[in-house]
Structure 1
Amino acid sequence: MPLVRNPILPGFNADPSIVRVGNNYYIATSTFEWYPGVQIHHSRDLANWELVTRPLTRKSQLDMRGEPDSCGVWAPCLTHDGDRFWLVYTDVKRKDGSFKDTHNYIVSAPSIEGPWSDPVYVNSSGFDPSLFHDDDGKKWFINMLQDHRRRPRAFAGIVLQEFDSSAGKLVGPKKNIFLGTDLDLVEGPHLYKRNGWYYLLTAEGGTAYHHACTLARSRDIWGPYDVHPENPILSSKDAPFAALQRAGHGDIVETPEGRTYLVHLASRPTTQERRCVLGRETAIQEAIWRDDWLFVKKGPVPSLHVDVPGVRDDSRYWAEHRYTFENGLHKDFQWLRTPETERIFATQDGKLTLFGRETIGSWFEQALVARRQTHFSYDAETVVDFSPTDERQFAGLTAYYCRYNFFYLTVTAHSDGQRELLIITSEASWPDGKINMPLADPVQIPNEGKVKLALTIRGRQLQFFYGLDGEGLKKIGPVYDASILSDECGGHQAHGSFTGAFVGMACSDINGTALPASFDYFIYRPAQHVTDRYDV
């Protein structure tokens, strides 16, 4: 069989849940505060994957306004019961401090493209829910259990209860079936049945460098569950120089030929600070069954190259993406939190118009449309038409992780109305998330005319450029440290920042007049760079 190089879903694709329906494989991944909710990719060979849908597209399914960074949609679980697709997800309203507010929902659809139903509320007792369809027709709902009285951890185990899909609610007794192991922080549960055994796969060790996959089994769905004799079955915690780090939170699938694979999240840190700019990505490992236990081939450390049925077309990975807006917003783009898209953007006359709303760090309503950074090095470019009247109106090109960390080349104006270019960044003040003062010196530009904005990232070096009508690109500002656009610098140094770097277009008008900015196109061009030794 051919080898595929991990990750199979590069760039911010965390918490993978995989299901096979016939010859089709689908992976659902977390989207956190980015809208629409849940990414679902499709493949026929486990090597080549295509984004096919984001099912949580309307206010009745998801409204994340006001939710902090790295909250929102956590750990979706995608399953199929022979008739319908079922998607379980958590909408996290708060995650820091003594409490977490985590609401769990279920939607379903006759096909992966939909239509996806309005959500059924299930519970709020914990996060990372999943749905298991037993061979007797019963459906079982499991999630990690929170207990805010437990110190220093609130992870109290995995709870099981039957779900009545006709009534749309949990029924019957519930039980804490698994307290986890010494790895701690048990979460991300998935149930399976094979040869009369119930298998419980969980994530443990937190989401940083001690992350792991734990497997346990029982003859009875209610337990007790015995832990795998060589636990954990997957982890990089004892292999600090492995290419794939932070490996854990997995799910299992079998091919029609009976081969078994484990998909899991992993990260590829760069720089001496071990920063994960591309966030948590989806990787795959082949596994084998022995004595009714699952073992990862060459595990537990994840392999960079894995045998899969297909051969990947790497030319797609390195292709330039030139986005125009004649047919609406391309599926690669997302925005932050709000289901009311008409308030933040429109596509008309072949252009993308952003309506200036709140600042780039807002948790409520900001006009920011961006795509994932999926390469360690790349170029980005756009052309903006924007006529600000003062310093409270600004629009342009941003490399963005969260409100704590971003770089933003803006077209704005001085208080006297003279238009200028200004770079706004929170880089130097991490982890406080404050704008770096003083700002880089502004560059005056004519009050009329479009402006070309561009950036290059080569490893950890970011450089902005600008160009006026009829002129070539010129450098603006210093070289910035792009490595802070990473989980490790997202406001939490471990276990708390969950997304990945984006690049895109933004517009703010904190005068409250919703001044629009018009963008002609957007280019994302991957670049191969000598420092990117783990790029796929």
Structure 2
Amino acid sequence: MSDVISNPILPGFHPDPSIVRVGEDYFLATSTFEWCPGIRLHHSRDLRHWRTLGGIADSPRLLDLTGVPDSGGVWAPDLTYANGRFHLVFSVLDNYAYGYKDCANYLTTAESIDGPWTDPVRLPGRGFDAALYHEDGATWLLNMISGFKGVEIQRLEGDKAVGEPTLLLETSPAGITEGPHLYKVDDWYYLLCAEGGTGFNHGAIVARSRNLLGPYEIDPSGPLITSRDKLDLPLQKAGHGCLVSTPAGEWYLTYLTSRPYTEIEDGLPETARERDATGRCVLGRETAVAAVAWTDGWPRIPGAAPALEVPAPDLPAHPWPEPSARDDFDAPHLDPRWNTLRRHADPSWLSLTAHPSHLRLTGGQSPFGKRTPSLVAQRVTAKHGVFEAGLAFTPDTEQQNAGITAYYNAFNWHYLQVSLEDGESWLSLVTTDRGRRDHTRIAPVGPRLDLRIAFDGPTLRFAYRDNGNWTALEHERDATILSDEHATWVEPGLLHAFGFTGAFVGLWAQDLAAEGGYADFDYASYQTTP
């Protein structure tokens, strides 16, 4: 048994963790935003080793992300278990900008974590980050009130609200109070909330009450966890957590955190706001864990700070088989590492059988299209690593492209692509930085080649192999435009886009006229390095 857990436990884009223990099994759900399948699920038996089970919402019946904005879609799932069933509550944001939020909260349930999951039903609520609390056969719905005006609770019978909601907590010291979870320990009710927004001012607080409906008192010692006053730590943005206990009564908090790329050359910024302007988190918001001790009736974390290593629970070690870095597309279904953008994987545009041992992508919309893109991607999980793929593709028109990408959102990506130019297949390197497009032609290529993107901290390097040895491109690109901070697009008084996800590497194909153009990928490999 290992003595420590190394953080983050889920590297790369895995925010808003919600954890539940059922017997000896720990299940953890994370936000997926515009990516399919929705609500990514993870499994552990020792809180140290985790395996990815894939997404719960894996069909249009369970989730429709057509047209959602970048960093819209699925926000802050809440996973609980009661009365012999798993309960999953999640928010879907169709819009969050320009002064309005089009948000709906949904509930789906299943007897087994593997499903089948029931048709989602819409829940009442005027905000996002909804969650459930179960006690003595009753179910209560917690809601963050739109505009961050507090946290309220309301009794549910099925999916119907009973009576009027009760305000549990109006605000918190850092403001922007959200992400509520409720627990009962001994004779106290404990309300855990995120505060301070999801940037470098983020944190989590606890309030308690003897009565379910309050009043609630915030822990006078301060946040349960935060890094806003510890800007030199390697783990930043700590907050939005969820508590869980082991069978032996040990307590842990899973929470989101980030690892900034940008070096601070002139000393530490004095405030979290200044850090927001300098630190770029290409890996997005990740999931970490902290050991919790109970002191004077309050849950506490040493120093209220995130740490790279924390004491492991007294549980037998349970490692999972290490997945291969390489996917040869021999399985009948996509491996859980893969995600698709805004539309679910289905035979209308994706096939693992049309060309055996290949992934065939029928070209979709342009990189700015939000209805039918053809992008299959996986999370970037380390600052250093190499993504490589084999491509067989012959474009028939100038509206057809295919290749590999380092991607954040529609406005920020790098694309090593093959396209038809002057009657020939040309390899090009295309970058879009906040919508500004740079297109560099590299060389004419044949119908089969290998492509490579290497992450070297803040620098991206590219190479290709066309019937011979690898050729390194002299052109380098900035990896940090694939970051939460760079993707967040705010003008004075006007929000265009949030950056809530993280960098991906993937396989991409376009056919803007929808004339049946396709690309075959015979393998893809993503290997991280120290």
The answer, yes or no, to whether TM exceeds 0.5 is yes
1:211 maps to what in 2?
A: 202
Q: Give the CA deviation at 1:243.
A: 1.4
2:140 maps to what in 1?
A: 140
Alignment of 1:61-460 (within 5 A): 61-134=62-135, 136-146=136-146, 154-165=147-158, 168-272=159-263, 273-296=278-301, 298-309=302-313, 321-327=325-331, 328-339=333-344, 341-348=346-353, 349-414=356-421, 416-427=422-433, 432-436=434-438, 439-446=439-446, 449-460=447-458
Q: Give the CA deviation at 1:155.
A: 1.2
Q: Give the CA deviation at 1:119.
A: 0.6
Mapped partners of 2:415, 2:346: distance in 1: 22
2:8 maps to what in 1?
A: 7
Cα gap change, 1:96/1:311 in structure 2, threshold over 3 Å: closer, same or farther? Answer: farther
Which SS does the other structure have where 1:181 is aligned? coil
Mapped partners of 2:11, 2:318: distance in 1: 14
1:260-305 Cα offsets, whole Å, 9 max, x none, are: 1111000011122321111111111111112211111x22111221
Contact 1:357–1:514, Cα closer than 8 Å, also in 2: no
1:533 maps to what in 2?
A: none
1:520 maps to what in 2?
A: 522
Mapped partners of 2:304, 2:473: distance in 1: 47
RMSD of the TM alignment (CA)? Answer: 1.8
1:474 maps to what in 2?
A: 471
Contact 1:198–1:218, Cα closer than 8 Å, also in 2: yes
Q: Please, which runs of 5 or more residues in structure 2 have no aligned partner?
A: 264-277
| Structure 2 residue corresponding to 1:485, chosen from 482, 485, 488 | 482
Q: Which amino acid aligns with 1:237?
A: R
Contact 1:4–1:311, Cα closer than 8 Å, also in 2: no
Which SS does the other structure have where 2:118 is aligned? coil
Which SS does the other structure have where 1:159 is aligned? strand
1:173-212 Cα offsets, whole Å, 9 max, x none, are: 2122211213011100001111221111000000000000
Q: Please, which runs of 5 or more residues in structure 1 have no aligned partner?
A: 147-153, 529-536
Q: Which amino acid aligns with 1:228?
A: D
Which SS does the other structure have where 1:28 is aligned? strand
Mapped partners of 1:2, 1:252: distance in 2: 20
Q: Give the CA deviation at 1:54.
A: 1.4
Cα gap change, 1:24/1:315 in structure 2, threshold over 3 Å: closer, same or farther? Answer: closer
Q: Give the CA deviation at 1:124.
A: 4.7
Contact 2:45–2:318, Cα closer than 8 Å, also in 1: no
Cα gap change, 1:350/1:70 in structure 2, threshold over 3 Å: closer, same or farther? Answer: same
Mapped partners of 2:317, 2:40: distance in 1: 20
Mapped partners of 1:4, 1:503: distance in 2: 27
1:408-459 Cα offsets, whole Å, 9 max, x none, are: 0001011x321111111113xxxx32312xx21341224xx31111111111
2:460 maps to what in 1?
A: 462
Mapped partners of 1:340, 1:330: distance in 2: 11
Contact 1:236–1:246, Cα closer than 8 Å, also in 2: yes
Quote the sequence identity (%).
39
Mapped partners of 2:124, 2:318: distance in 1: 42
Q: Give the CA deviation at 1:123.
A: 2.6
Contact 1:41–1:53, Cα closer than 8 Å, also in 2: yes
Q: Which amino acid aligns with 1:119?
A: P
Are 1:26 and 2:32 counterparts?
Answer: no
Mapped partners of 1:55, 1:401: distance in 2: 22
Which SS does the other structure have where 1:366 is aligned? coil
Contact 2:54–2:337, Cα closer than 8 Å, also in 1: no
Mapped partners of 2:460, 2:244: distance in 1: 40
Q: Which amino acid aligns with 1:406?
A: W
1:333-370 Cα offsets, whole Å, 9 max, x none, are: 00011136333311111110111110123221100001
Cα gap change, 1:45/1:315 in structure 2, threshold over 3 Å: closer, same or farther? Answer: closer
Structure 1 stretches of 4+ moved >6 Å: 311-317
Which SS does the other structure have where 2:436 is aligned? coil
2:267 maps to what in 1?
A: none
Mapped partners of 1:125, 1:508: distance in 2: 38
Contact 2:50–2:319, Cα closer than 8 Å, also in 1: no
Contact 1:53–1:113, Cα closer than 8 Å, also in 2: no
2:274 maps to what in 1?
A: none
2:51 maps to what in 1?
A: 50
Which SS does the other structure have where 2:398 is aligned? coil
Which SS does the other structure have where 1:435 is aligned? strand
